[in-house]
Amino acid sequence: MAKKPIVGFYGITGCAGCLLSVIFNEDEIVDIIKAVDIVAFPFIKSDNSKGPMDICFIEGTVVSLDDEKIVKELRERSKVVVALGTCACEGNIPAIRNYTDDKKLSKWLYKKNPQNQDTRTPKPIHEIIQVEYRLPGCPPDRDEVKRFIKDLLLNKTFRNVRSAVCVECKLNKNGCLLDNNLVCLGPITSGGCNAICPTHGLKCYGCRGLADDANFDEYFELLKSKKIKPTEVRKVMDTFMARAVDEKLKGTKWEKYH
Amino acid sequence: MGKISLNHITKIEGHARLDLEVKGSKLVKCELGSIEGSRYFEPLLKGRDYRDAPEITSRICGICSSAHGVASVMAMENALGIKATPQTIILRELQTIGERIRSHATHLYFLALPDYLGYESALAMTKKYMPEIQRALRLIKIGNEMVTAVSGRVMHQISTTIGGFTHFPEQEKLDEFRKRLLAAEKDIIDTAKLISSLKVPKLSTEGEMFSLSHETEYGTSHGFIKSGDSTFEQKDYSKLLKEYHEPYSNANFVVKKGKSYYVGALARVVNNGDRLSTKTQEFIKKNKIDFSDMNPFKNNLAQAIELIHYWEYTADLLTDFKVKYESVMKPKKKSGHGIAANEAPRGTLWHEYKVSKGEITYANVVTPTAQMLRNMQDMIAVYVQQMLTKKTKKEKIVLEVEKLIRSYDPCFSCATHFLTVNWK
């Protein structure tokens, strides 16, 4: 038998939900533990190796100098880095603050010691280090996490779903939430989640990041025709993927709506 | 002994640090703080649509996202004049309880138990304790199934919304689930037996026991607040509790009249003990379990006791529960001010919002970990001093301090994240 891959699971600033999405594969986690050599997992382990890793999963957004140091160090120790979840892939909710005044924010919350807070620009990890794979989603899809680990063990190349959430939503035979005048981001968001939110009656907030062929012009115009202002649409887009949207809209006529 | 710094405490949720300074055999400094990066959830809500509040705040925490999601929805309904239907109240309680079951099972087996059995992690326990690990996973699965049935997903709720639910579990699936729940009785009781067999150090908290309470029910997601011998209404929290900041922590501290208080399973069991389910009371009596010493190490046992209670309570509740379709209620007004408390697995959680013309103008979230932080710091100081007086070795002190911190089941992601000890 080939040597077991040496694996680490790390979290920087985040909610631990992605790490739990790995553990919460209740029927398979024991087999996963046997199939790979988990040398680091500070959330559930006290002894965490400082040695090299074949694969390192990282959850969380880079919001501080410490976070930045940690991801750089993990990169040096790992052959393959996997961005686990929307914080690591897109910046998630902390990245909204890139478009707000940091000092005001800090003062607002920590009234007594605003100078103590390290308020850098929150970033997804690929803006700091090279990342080989991404498993987006808030939370990541447990089946996709399993498929990734399976592909890895079989030496297959893992591929993300690149079509829009709308494709899976239509396959589920749902009615369209845009028809209810909701800012559903299904048309511009990457699928792979089986359109779980729209299927349960909630609009898509874009947690899996932009679809490859996201057509912003058509999307903004469609919402405008429903009397929903581009600034309102932009707020919804900023919820989970503010960094990517900002990058895509630079130099377009939609840039000013913020 | 000098200084002790624990710079990154493991097997807790999030990142924290502890600094201890010792002169001779006297502890002169004890500072516990969060080193989690700040995420600024509250100011980020300003200017957003009121419907975004539960979607954004459930992301504060992966372990207790339902507690946040439900608290957020309830606070927003209080602000906008919506009165939840009896079915909605039940479904939200089921979601909160499902999360409680999987959170307690995860904490007890994966974070707390290795300390007591002498392992660095549950992963290392798999050789000798595989049946226990599999039991933990079965309980986690039961909890996850419950959360998913009601809210649509394991974490970060989908169907649970302001005004009701956008999607309902199928009756057939709920009935099947109840059968699986009943079959989990042995796992629940075995867990309580295992945890009650663990020897805990002697220690007694000086803070008041603080939790939701209710005249006829075990306080979970509604009722009034009980703290020591006094009670108060949920909406009065800001008059009684004060938040403050310390330079060494990225999480705020919360005190009641300048003093620390105790939140979590132990507080709930102490405050609501006479409303625990029949089988729970029998277990307590049979095993001579006593929480009157208010020992924070017994929070683990209180969690195991809650597992029995919530298991029996849910099985009873589902016996006659027939789910029906209800449309989501619309707000009566688009401006207002609302507060709601919910018991998260690790203690009382508060959400407060002000809304003007459908837009959020103010948000405040007070997490259980922010409320327990000061009590934890106070108790670490007491416990370390006890050990120093007994001339306990430094390595043992570090281990014991970590064990104490873990028994509180803190969530430093919630309070910001958690622990690294610095011995100085």
ipTM score assigned to the predicted complex: 0.94
CA distance, residue B211 to nearest chain A CA (Å) = 24
Tell whether A254 is covered by a domain. no
Q: What is the reported pLDDT for B24?
A: 87
Is A23–B52 a contact, with Cβ atoms under 8 angstroms apart?
no
> Out of A226-230, B192-196, B392-396, B417-421, which region has the weakest mean confidence (pLDDT)?
B417-421
Q: Averaged over A71-97, what is the pLDDT? A: 96
Reported as a pLDDT band with limits 50, 70 and 90, residue B205 is confident
**β pairing state of B16-23 and B419-423:** parallel
CA distance, residue A22 to nearest chain B CA (Å) = 12
Reported as a pLDDT band with limits 50, 70 and 90, residue B9 is confident
**DSSP labels for B76-118?**
HHHHHT----HHHHHHHHHHHHHHHHHHHHHIIIIIIHHHHHT
Global pTM value: 0.94
A139 and A89 in one domain? yes
Q: Which of A153, A173, A204 is the last residue of a domain?
A: A153
Of B37, B62, B144, the CB nearest to A17: B62
Interface-testing mutation among A10, A15, A63, with chain B (most B C-beta atoms within 10 A): A15
A200 and A99 in one domain? no
B39 CB neighbours in chain A (<8 A) are 13, 61, 63, 93-94, 122
Residue-number span of the structural domain to which B325 is assigned: 2-423
Place of tokens 């052959």: A79
Question: What does the pLDDT look like over B263-305, one tens digit per residue?
Answer: 999 999 999 999 999 999 999 999 999 999 999 999 999 999 9
Both tokens of residue B257? 């009249």
Task: Name residues 224-243 of chain A within 8 A of B (Cβ).
Answer: 232, 235-236, 239
Percent of chain B exceeding pLDDT 90 equals 77
Question: What does the pLDDT look like over B324-342, one tens digit per residue?
Answer: 999 999 999 999 999 999 9
Tell whether the model's pLDDT for residue A155 goes beyond 80.
yes
Q: What is the reported pLDDT for B142?
A: 98
Q: What is the reported pLDDT for A112?
A: 46
Tell whether the model's pLDDT for residue A95 goes beyond 60.
yes
A9 forms bridges with which residues in the sheet? A57
The structural domain count of chain A equals: 2
The CA–CA distances, whole Å, from B150 to A193, A201, B66, B92, B310 equal 18, 13, 11, 8, 16
CATH number for A115: 3.40.50.700
Q: What is the reported pLDDT for B343?
A: 97
Interhelix angle for B265-272 vs B299-319, to 10°? 60
A127 and A191 in one domain? no
A147 and A173 in one domain? no
> Out of A150-154, B76-80, B84-88, which region has the weakest mean confidence (pLDDT)?
A150-154
Is B60–A15 a contact, with Cβ atoms under 8 angstroms apart?
yes
CATH number for B93: 1.10.645.10
Reported as a pLDDT band with limits 50, 70 and 90, residue A158 is very high
Q: Averaged over B180-191, what is the pLDDT? A: 98
Q: Averaged over A172-185, what is the pLDDT? A: 97
A46 and A133 in one domain? yes
A131 and A77 in one domain? yes
As a whole number of angstroms, the distance between CA B352 and CA B333 comes to 17
Tell whether A158 is covered by a domain. no
R_g over Cα of chain A = 19
B152 CB neighbours in chain A (<8 A) are 196-197, 200, 202
Tell whether the model's pLDDT for residue B46 goes beyond 70.
yes
A169 and A147 in one domain? no
What's the length of chain A? 258
A126 and A218 in one domain? no
Residue B97, exposed/middle/buried by CB under 10 A (0-12, 13-18, 19+)? buried
Q: What is the reported pLDDT for B422?
A: 46
Q: What is the reported pLDDT for B12?
A: 73
Of B47, B60, B155, the CB nearest to A139: B155
Mean pLDDT across chain B: 92
A213 and A92 in one domain? no
A169 and A145 in one domain? no
Reported as a pLDDT band with limits 50, 70 and 90, residue B414 is low
Is B44–A93 a contact, with Cβ atoms under 8 angstroms apart?
yes
Q: Averaged over A159-166, what is the pLDDT? A: 94
The larger pLDDT score, comparing residue B238 to residue A20, is at A20
Tell whether the model's pLDDT for residue A106 goes beyond 70.
no
The CA–CA distances, whole Å, from A9 to A53, B154, B311, B317, B342 equal 10, 20, 32, 39, 31
A120 and A214 in one domain? no
A20 touches chain B (CB under 8 A): yes
Q: What is the reported pLDDT for B238?
A: 85
Least Cα distance to B149 among B379, B318, B358, B13 occurs for B318
How many other C-beta atoms are found inside a 10 Å radius of the C-beta of residue A51?
A: 10
Of A15, A104, A116, the CB nearest to B61: A15
Is B44–A15 a contact, with Cβ atoms under 8 angstroms apart?
no
Which residues are CB-contacts of B84 (< 8 A; sequence separation ≥ 6)? B74, B77, B92, B164
Tell whether A255 is covered by a domain. no
A55 and A95 in one domain? yes
Q: Which of A99, A132, A153 is the last residue of a domain?
A: A153
Q: What is the reported pLDDT for B317?
A: 96
The structural domain count of chain B equals: 1
Q: What is the reported pLDDT for B421?
A: 43
Reported as a pLDDT band with limits 50, 70 and 90, residue B413 is low
Tell whether A256 is covered by a domain. no
The larger pLDDT score, comparing residue A104 to residue B340, is at B340
CA distance, residue A155 to nearest chain B CA (Å) = 25
Residue-number span of the structural domain to which A81 is assigned: 6-153
